């Protein structure tokens, strides 16, 4: 699927604070689509800034967050959730009146609470979360197609200028995303079950396997295709990002974890009692959910996530 190239830039100057998987993907896609007259970026370390300069994707790489946002009409924080409040405070005095300030954080309630008090009244604050990613991070990990056909959730606080929300919606749509608007609290509840809990489970199971005494870690790696391998991809996600997600979305994650533990106990009981009917009923229901995800185009119908499989070749002689 390809999105249309817009004839005129939607923004004169876009500032991206943070240039990792998400910031780098926004820069690449916005450049390809011609969505900003000028793209300026910065990152925390001199190493990342030097690499971004080398990549040559943006118009300017500057040293400070304050410098980056000067004269920008769109500012997007593409940094870990826990850093958003301090950065909002730092950039606030340098923002141009009428600027749209957004972010891409995986948690919305905490980000709104941390950022909103610092932003001047003349700035339009429209938080966002592109529900798209990979387990990779850093300036080389981004790619322009990341957001195509994925959802981007906007969580504008009550009373946000409708024109600003529409401009950001159009921006994300031009990056290829489907856009939905919801409250920060509802976002955090939905993402707790669809993203945060799965990550917690993956981090747990991979850690458990690593600590097993009866099965060696080389056996775990060798026989990983039995299901474990798919958890390892998720458990390889960025430690700083995910630490911040669990600290910032504590309430919703604990609520979902409570429900999960109850359901795990039910399945544990079914296994202990040899209750095949309960297991079958449960697994049939979950299989239907996977089919639903494929049907709405959020994943491929190809077996094993479409991984290539080696061909059997007949040995001569
Ligand atoms: P990433 O690849 O690790 O990149 C993070 C970037 O933020 C780096 O350029 C880092 O600079 C910079 N940074 C960190 N603290 C900063 C600060 N105080 N001031 C300026 N720059 C700072 O992370 P990512 O995966 O793009 O994630 C960024 C955000 O997107 C997170 O809030 C995450 O919740 C959200 N998100 C992630 C995914 C995903 O799958 N990864 C999906 C959706 C949303 P250095 O390199 O110099 O440290």
Distance, CA 162 to ligand 1 centroid (Å)?
28
What is the residue-level pLDDT of the chain in tens, covering all 317 positions?
444 445 567 999 999 999 999 999 999 999 999 999 999 999 999 999 999 999 999 999 999 999 999 999 999 999 999 999 999 999 999 999 999 999 999 999 999 999 999 999 999 999 999 999 999 999 999 999 999 999 999 999 999 999 999 999 999 999 999 999 999 999 999 999 999 999 999 999 999 988 887 888 888 888 888 789 899 999 999 999 999 999 999 999 999 999 999 999 999 999 999 999 999 999 999 999 999 988 888 888 888 888 888 888 888 77
Domains in the chain, ordered, with CATH?
11-182 (3.40.50.720), 187-298 (1.10.3660.10)
Residue nearest (by alpha carbon) to ligand 1 atom 42: 133
Q: Verify whether ligand 1 is closer than 6 Å to residue 19 (CB atom).
A: yes
DSSP 210-225: HH-SSS-HHHHHHTGG
Instruction: Among 47, 77, 78, 154, say which to mutate for ligand 1: greatest number of ligand atoms within 8 Å of CB.
Output: 78
Alpha helices in the chain (DSSP H): 21-33, 46-55, 65-69, 84-91, 109-115, 162-174, 184-191, 197-211, 217-222, 228-235, 239-248, 250-273, 276-295
């Amino acid at each position: 699927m390809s999105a249309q190239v817009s004839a005129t830039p939607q923004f004169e100057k876009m500032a991206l604070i943070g240039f990792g998987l998400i910031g780098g993907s926004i820069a690449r896609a916005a450049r390809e689509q011609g969505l900003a007259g000028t793209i300026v970026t910065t990152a925390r370390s001199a190493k990342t800034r030097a690499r971004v300069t080398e990549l040559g994707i943006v118009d300017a790489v500057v040293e400070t967050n304050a410098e980056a946002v000067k004269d920008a009409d769109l500012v997007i924080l593409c940094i870990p959730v826990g850093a958003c409040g301090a950065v909002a405070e730092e950039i606030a005095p340098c923002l141009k009146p009428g600027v749209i300030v957004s972010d891409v954080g995986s948690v919305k309630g905490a980000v709104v609470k941390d950022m909103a008090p610092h932003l001047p009244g003349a700035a339009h604050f429209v938080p966002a979360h592109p529900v798209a990613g990979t387990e990779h991070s850093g300036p080389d990990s981004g790619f322009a197609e990341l957001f195509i056909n994925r959802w981007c959730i906007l969580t504008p606080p009550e009373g946000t200028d409708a024109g600003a929300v529409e401009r950001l919606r159009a921006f994300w749509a031009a990056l290829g995303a489907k856009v939905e608007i919801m409250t920060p609290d509802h976002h955090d509840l939905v993402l707790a079950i669809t993203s945060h809990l799965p990550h917690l489970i993956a981090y747990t199971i991979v850690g458990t396997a690593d600590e097993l005494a009866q099965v060696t870690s080389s056996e775990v790696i060798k026989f990983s295709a039995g299901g474990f391998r798919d958890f390892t991809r998720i458990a390889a996600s960025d430690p700083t990002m995910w630490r911040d997600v669990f600290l910032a979305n504590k309430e919703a994650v604990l609520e979902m974890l409570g429900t999960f533990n109850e359901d795990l106990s039910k399945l544990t009981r079914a296994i202990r009692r040899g209750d095949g009917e309960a297991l079958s009923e449960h697994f049939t229901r979950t299989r239907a959910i996977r089919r639903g995800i494929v049907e709405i185009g959020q994943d491929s119908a190809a077996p094993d996530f479409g991984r290539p499989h080696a061909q059997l070749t007949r040995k001569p002689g």
